Amino acid sequence: MSLAVQRLSREFRSPVTTGLIAGVLALAIFGVVRGGTFILVDSLVTGAIWALVAAGLALTFGVMGVPNFAQGEFFMVGTLSGYLVYTALSGVQGRPYVPFVTILMALVVGFVLGALVDLAVFSQMRRRIREGWVMNTFVVTVGISVVMINAHQLIWGTDYKGIVAYFDGPPIHVLGVSVALDRVFAISVAAVSIAGLWWLLSYSRIGRAIRAVSQDEPGALMVGINVGRMRTLTFAISSGLAALAGATLLFQFPSFPFVGVKPLYVAWTVVILAGLGNVGGAVVAGFIIALLEANTGFFIGSAWEDVVPFALIVLILAVRPTGLFGRAVRSVWEQ
Amino acid sequence: MLRVTELDAGYGFLRVVHGISLQVNQGELVALLGPNGAGKSTTLKCIAGLVRPWKGDIAFRGHSIGGLRGDLVNGLGIGLVSESLNLFTGMTVYENLLMGAYSVPEAEKRRRSLDFVFSLFPRLAERRPQLAGTLSGGERKMLAIGRALMGGPSLLLVDEPSLGLAPKLTQQVFDALRKLSDDGLTILLVEQNVTATLEMVDRAYVLEQGEIVLEGSAQKLSESEHVKDVYLGVMA
């Protein structure tokens, strides 16, 4: 616990960071007062999901040095497997466990597919590439993304494959806003997953090993960690999280080949805002971006939803090139 | 226990180690001495599996381990304290030590190792919840040695323990290594600090430009004209 406080206080030592955080809080309060509580609820739901997708992205970059531009396609895989599993279970729909089975299956599919992609692509590249790792893997992930999009199109076509809702019960009322059960579901799933990820990375043996690889690779080898396996696992976890997010948001993002584009861009915005490779920061930044989106959508117009977060990125990178919480960048780039 | 035969190694097109042969017996404290760039660290990294040897053989307890991956070498009971220490700077002292025992499944054994490391370096016990990146140079060195000990190695490789340390701290670290050796641990040490090292070790090899030029007991080496001339600064 004292360690968490220690880390937190270090994060907030910079006046720029503190100022930005204060600004975001002010924006949240402004949104609630002038717009309504629903802005806050909206931001929490989408923010939690962005946090989930972005945490995976940050993890992949921090541990493997791979800027994963195929993360959106793992989100797409999640929506697709969610849709396929859910419709396959149509006989028992309405049972409360069905949505849970659905998203769990999506998680497994994403995890396994991620592991396979790492074994087939990145493990091979690690054996052969000595220089330009980040740039090369960047191009390769774009390639993987194109392949996955086209595979979806080839096999399942381009039409929207969505569902109305996982739960058809009446919405619940929180702080004077009625929130659909699916959104409650989404935020709970995201909260549990993020807590799970946090626990895994902080306290489990495997999580410590993953962090060890990201902090010092020769050091990890020296204490007997199978570095290659940890990387495969990292990519699998990250893909699994993206797929889980996709399946959870199926009611909002019907599956089609390009469904992953928006989550990908948002996740990258989040990760750049947080500082590349910083998983904890990505979670916080996920909520910040969602809050910005919700406020922009309401006060300026939904067409501007993507503009404002991106403008903020430009601004932040001009002031703080390492991002809000960026210290992990150094450890990755200076190796 | 460890036998290196005709080892060749290097980086890219640059050969750093030219046909080195050396041997460390059970329970010995052996030093590999020599100036900067002699290939001492590379030799150590080859043994630990961090650098792939070009030629030659490395045998540990009769089994060839040349070219084996670092994590597997560690699993066989070879601990390495590298020159740059390779600590996990974003983790606490405690977590670093825990990682050292990554391949030790028994909790009881881990706890005993932890107690042992804390008794060897009481300073680390005081610093237990602190991030490794915030430690002083001497404390880092202790942590790196402690982390290597956590895996319960039967052979400890130590690269330049005196590097960047004040003489007093160097002595502390050397005392700890001597104590470990007296307790029965086999240690292969790489050093530039010839005077202090020869006072402590049983046997030593002198490495120059990738080749072994001298070897023998510490006593013999400190009396050798070559060592006196080049390393001890004694005018003949």
- B148:A218 CB<8 A: no
The C-alpha of A273 sits at a distance from chain B's nearest C-alpha, in angstroms, of: 21
Instruction: List pLDDT tens digits, range A182-211.
Output: 989 999 999 999 999 999 998 999 999 999
pLDDT at A136: 93
Q: How far apart are CA A7 and CA A328, in angstroms?
A: 13
A-contacting residues in B 140-199 (Cβ below 8 Å) = 147-148, 150-151
| Res B228: pLDDT | 84
What pLDDT does residue A1 have? 41
Q: Which of A222, A230, A231 to mutate to test the interface with B (most CBs of B within 10 A)?
A: A222
The SS3 assignment for A172 reads: strand
- Nearest-angstrom CA–CA distance, A328 and B133: 13
Backbone φ, ψ for residue B55 (5° rounding):
-145, 170
Q: What residues of chain B lie within 8 A of the CB of A226, using their CB?
A: 69, 71
CB A281 within 8 A of CB A242: no
Q: pLDDT tens-digit profile of A230-257?
A: 999 999 999 999 999 999 999 989 999 9
Residue of chain B minimizing CA distance to A335: B86
Type and span of the H or E element at A177 = strand A177-179
Task: List average pLDDT for each run of 10 residues in chain B, which is 236 residues long.
Answer: 93 91 95 90 94 94 92 95 93 95 92 95 94 92 95 95 88 92 95 89 92 92 86 65
Chain A residue with CA closest to B149: the answer is: A223
C-alpha to C-alpha distance for B62 and B73, rounded to whole angstroms: 14
pLDDT of A334 reads 35
Q: What is the pLDDT of residue B205?
A: 94
Handedness of CA A142, A145, A147, A153 (dihedral sign): negative
Instruction: Return residues 110-139 of B near A (CB < 8 Å).
Output: 129, 131
Residue A301 has pLDDT above 90, yes or no: no
Q: What is the pLDDT of residue B234?
A: 63
Nearest to B147 by CA among B94, B70, B188, B207: B94
Considering the segment(s) B1-77+153-236 as one domain, its CATH architecture is 3-Layer(aba) Sandwich (3.40)
Out of A216, A224, A226, the one facing B87 most closely (by C-beta) is A216
> Is B48 in CB contact (< 8 Å) with chain A?
yes
- C-alpha distance from B70 to closest chain A C-alpha (Å): 5
Nearest CA in chain A to B95: A208
The complex's ipTM?
A: 0.90
Average pLDDT value for chain A: 87
- A219: which chain B residues are within 8 Å (Cβ-Cβ)? 82, 85-88
Give A11 or B73, the one with higher predicted confidence. B73
Question: Which of B37, B60, B202 has its CA nearest to residue B18?
Answer: B37
Choose among B72, B74, B92: nearest Cβ to A223: B74
Question: Quick one: what percent of chain A has pLDDT higher than 90?
Answer: 50
CB contact under 8 A, A208 and B75: no
What is the C-alpha to C-alpha distance for residues B61 and B65, in angstroms, rounded to an integer? 10
Domain boundaries, chain A: 14-333
Tell me if residue A312 falls in helix, strand or coil: helix
- Nearest beta carbon to residue B99 from set A2, A3, A212: A212
Task: Give CA torsion, residues A69, A72, A78, A83, to 10 deg.
Answer: -140
Closest CB to B86 among A219, A226, A331: A219
Cβ pair B75:A224 closer than 8 A: yes
Domain boundaries, chain B: 1-77+153-236, 85-152
* Distance from C-alpha of B89 to C-alpha of B106, rounded to nearest angstrom: 26
Q: What is the DSSP code string of chain B? A: -EEEEEEEEEETTEEEEEEEEEEE-TT-EEEEE--TTSSHHHHHHHHHTSS--SEEEEEETTEE-TT--HHHHHHTTEEEE-TT----TTSBHHHHHHHHTTT---HHHHHHHHHHHHHH-HHHHHTTTSBGGGS-HHHHHHHHHHHHHHT--SEEEEE-TTTT--HHHHHHHHHHHHHHHHTT-EEEEEES-HHHHHHH-SEEEEEETTEEEEEEEHHHHHH-HHHIIIII----
* Strand order across the beta sheet in which B203-208 lies: B78-81, B155-159, B186-191, B29-33, B203-208, B211-217
What integer is the mean pLDDT of A11-21? 68
Nearest CA distance, B164 vs chain A (angstrom)? 19
Return the pLDDT at A9: 58
CATH number of A14-333: 1.10.3470
Interchain pair B80, A226: CB under 8 A = no
- Output the pLDDT for position A13: 59
The per-residue pLDDT for A322 is 76
Tell me which chain B residues have a C-beta less than 8 angstroms from the C-beta of A220: 71, 99
> A218: closest CA among B190, B69, B192, B40?
B69
